[in-house]
Amino acid sequence: MSSEKGESKPMQTKNKILIAAISAVVVVGVALGIYFGVHNKNNSNSVTPPGQNGTMINGTLFPYYTLTGPAPAPVGVAGMVYTTCKTPNTFSISFDDGPSEWTHELLDLLDKENLKVTFFVNGNNQGCIYDPKVQSILKRAFQSGHQIASHTWSHPQLTTLTVDGIKTEMTRLEEALEAVLGVVPRYMRPPFGDGTFGNGNANDVKVQTTLKGLGYVITTWDIATTDADIDDNNVPHKLSDQVLMAKEQQQVTSVVEAGAKGATHMQLMHDTYMRTIRLMAPWSINYIKNLGYKMVPVATCLGDEDPRTWYKKIGPAAASTPTTCTK
């Protein structure tokens, strides 16, 4: 009996230690569960499925971006017209009027250079945004981390439209981009820059006031390569490659060299011209790199670095979309 009594004491001690250890594990587990439960709840819109690169926001994946916490307040001001970058040492290059048959080739170049740009897209200009081929290009650009911005539905001169006409141009493209990508842009560029030139001009005020009411940041440019003016995109070309590039490159260098050292710039090109993609875009990238600039999307160069601030609305894309632009 004495032997059994002598052994029960250490056994009780072992049991107490075991129970204490189990209790500690349970407490820690509960605490971790509470922490991660609250954490995930607070970031429920930022949970990314396993194996996918980027961050899921309200059902739309933002590849290449790790986004945590609430979105910051936007920096770009609705209704304000911006002609150049505000963040020091930045240079944005952007492409208007697409997507087009050449945009995939441009995206290949940008992937190779690991650069992000802004695409100011139309709904029905070079092609219908609902065309499956156009949708695939647009989705690739978005999924590659580029900023998608508005260039209106059909590329009109906005000053010639009524207020309702301007709204229709903007909201019709909004509907399409929300359906195809799940996002509605907060940034736009008026076709031809129309509506931004006249100081106090009534039609410009109409355009800017209407766009402000729709929540749009208005961006133009301080460098235009004038590719849309001097490249007819036909074969044979009116200008040789050498002459065309000399003219377009001079449009860039003249502005850069006339400005203060390190001055920021917004450069406009069009992804609807073969020679822009194959000749001018590669030259521009090398030229800007050699100047020591950081090349970023338009929104980023204005201070909106978080891509959530590039869009007014973010949600899942539509399960199905039209295939034509006719109603």
- Name the DSSP letter for residue 231: -
C-alpha to C-alpha distance for 184 and 148, rounded to whole angstroms: 9
In this structure, the dihedral spanned by the alpha carbons of residues 197, 203, 205 and 208, taken in order and rounded to 10 degrees, is -80
Selecting among 96, 204, 227, 306, the annotated active-site residue is 96
Q: Is 265 considered catalytic here?
A: no
Confidence at residue 235, expressed as pLDDT on a 0 to 100 scale: 67
The dotted CATH code for 67-314 is 3.20.20.370
Structural domain boundaries in the chain:
2-42, 67-314
pLDDT score, position 44: 36
pLDDT along the chain (327 residues), means of 10: 40 49 45 37 43 83 90 96 97 97 96 97 95 96 97 97 98 98 98 92 96 98 96 77 96 96 96 96 98 97 97 95 88
Q: Which residue type, as a one-letter code, is found at position 298?
A: V
241 is catalytic: no
Whole-model pTM: value is 0.84
Supply the pLDDT for residue 327. 65
User: One of 270, 271, 304, 306 is an active-site residue; which one?
Assistant: 270
Greatest Cα-to-Cα distance within the chain, rounded to the nearest angstrom: 112
H or E element in which residue 170 lies:
helix 163-180
Strands 187-188 and 81-82: unpaired
Residue pointed to by tokens 């001055």:
263
